[in-house]
Amino acid sequence: MSYCLNPTCLNPENLAYSQMCQSCGSRLLLRDRYRVFKPLGQGGFGATFLANDQALPGEPSCVIKQLRPSGTTPHVLQMARELFEREAKTLGKIGNHPQIPRLLDYFEEQEQFYLVQEYISGDTLQQEIKHNGILSETGVKQFLSETLPLLQYIHERKVIHRDIKPANLIRRTQDARMVLIDFGAVKNQVSQGVPSQSGHTALTAYAIGTPGFAPPEQMAMRPVYASDIYALGVTCIYLLTGKTPKDLEYNPTTGEMMWEQLVQLSDHLINVLRKMLDVSVRTRYQSAEEVLRALEIEPYLESLAQGLLSKSDAGVKERTYNHRDNSAVLCSNPSAAANTGMAQVAAAIRARRARVAEAAGSQAGGMHQGPVMAKSTTLANSNSHGSQIPNSRVERKLDTQSLLTAYLKGRRDFALHNLSLLNLQGVDLSGTNFHSSQLQKTNLQGANLYNSDFGRASLTRSNLKDANLTKAYFNHADLEGADLRGADLSHAHLSNANLRGANLCGANLTGAKISDEQMALAKTNWMTVRPNGKRGLL
């Protein structure tokens, strides 16, 4: 079918490969290359369509967004043109990201404005919830771990999306990654329009986002980065309850959304969501990075609580392993210890981590000894007072197929697993938690490991050649003898990682957190891109 883009056409459906609309006579091949065959949606300012680009081999699919002004007066056309140009410039600036559709073309034709974007195949979060039901706490944590780094990326480019909601988040079919669409309501913090007599531009007077998802300051035409944090929080409530903002009750005194009685969550996640949803922008999280920091300990609290509650078959004291700092909590009465509350446990872990970080910082030259990996025996670590703290860990062995099957089903936490010697060449395991796992001699060549956590993991002699390790976390990881030739380590966190004998020839370390001392222990060549973006040897 060929679909006519004339907004006034009474019968826009035509036979495939027709040149002219049989109803209104309009040309059907837009700009002599795009053939529209299906409408996708329509809003207040325009409509979106699915099309084929007939100028390219294979005629790939693309999305055409048509901005439809509500009139033809100079004022309305100028407002539409500003909206159109702003969205095009923003997409051009931030579209080079795997979770944002690429801008392919934009143009004006017969007082209609068109954006051509990459087509993202998949279901929206709204469709997912309707088909599959609400998410658990783990599912929401995973959602936040996927979307917060993306939000941070957008905000770092001084852009506020202003319309984050389940209908604007698509889980891409090919790799199950979350993609943020519809930047039509974006606000660019850098270039503001000329204010009108009312003090607002023609743009901000209309493009205010979606009621219920947009916080009070955004509805008052004063959006800030924290406005997107609020909308993301509302989206989390939808994922947990299946209820849209109009289906929820609000506190008549404070205006706060009343949602806590509808969910069963840990106190920690409730507190994080409360702060994301604070109606006062001053006390809300100010950045995606703040939310990520607040959530950092959360993935480990559940396993920590289970360790405190479990009983040892041998009748010895229970030991609970903390992934982040190699410490262990001793408890001869697990039930009593659990009753002291997870808040105390979290505080103890934070204090322990601070002591470990302080001790690590005092070591000469910042050198790091690779993490000692316990298997069936109990190890001992010295704390800052010189005493010995026993440390045990349970490692679960997975084969290649089990790991990939679990990942495709949505699982992203493989901390404390034994994944050594597996063949994972070329697979997509982005956003996965491998904290403290065993990956010795594992083949990860060409794998997509974007934003994955390898903190304290053992990757000795692993094959990471040509892997995507952008923004990966390797704090205190053991990469001795690992093959990282041609790997993309841009903006990766390699602080305190053991890189002795690691091969970084041709690797991209732009913006990576890595010291000169670490680099000196690794193999580099003239193709290695240093953290400052320059190629060459030390």
Task: Quickly count: other Cβ atoms within 10 Å of residue 267's Cβ.
Answer: 12
Listed in sequence order, the residues at least 6 apart from 392 whose beta carbon sits closer than 8 Å to its beta carbon are 319, 321, 328, 374, 378, 379
Structure letter (DSSP) for residue 167: G
DSSP assignment string, 35-87: EEEEEEEE-SSEEEEEEEETTSTT--EEEEEEE--S--SHHHHHHHHHHHHHH
Query: How many whole angstroms separate alpha carbon 105 and alpha carbon 86?
Result: 14
Q: What are 419's two structure tokens?
A: 């994944």
User: Do 62 and 52 contact (CB within 8 A), yes or no?
Assistant: yes
Query: How many whole angstroms separate alpha carbon 443 and alpha carbon 445?
Result: 6
Does residue 459 sit in helix, strand or coil?
coil
* Size of the chain, expressed as the number of residues it contains: 538
Question: Is 65 marked as binding a ligand?
Answer: yes
Query: How many whole angstroms separate alpha carbon 361 and alpha carbon 364?
Result: 8
Does residue 432 sit in helix, strand or coil?
coil
Long-range CB contacts (within 8 A, 24+) of 377-385: 378/319, 381/326, 381/327, 381/328, 383/327, 383/352, 383/355, 384/355, 384/356, 384/358, 384/359
Burial code (b: 16+ CB inside 10 Å, e: under 16) for 70-92 equals eeeeeeeeebbeebbebbbbbbe
Q: Hey, what amino acid is at 285?
A: Y
Q: What are 381's two structure tokens?
A: 């670590």
User: Do 286 and 226 contact (CB within 8 A), yes or no?
Assistant: yes
Query: How many whole angstroms separate alpha carbon 458 and alpha carbon 477?
Result: 6
Query: How many whole angstroms separate alpha carbon 316 and alpha carbon 434?
Result: 29
Structure letter (DSSP) for residue 11: -
**Residues 248, 210, 228, CA angle at the centre, nearest 5°?**
95
Q: Which residues belong to the active site?
A: 163
Please state the φ and ψ torsions of residue 337, each to the nearest 5 degrees. -65, -40
Query: How many whole angstroms separate alpha carbon 281 and alpha carbon 160?
Result: 15
Which residue ranges are tagged as binding site for ATP? 65
Which residue ranges are tagged as binding site? 65
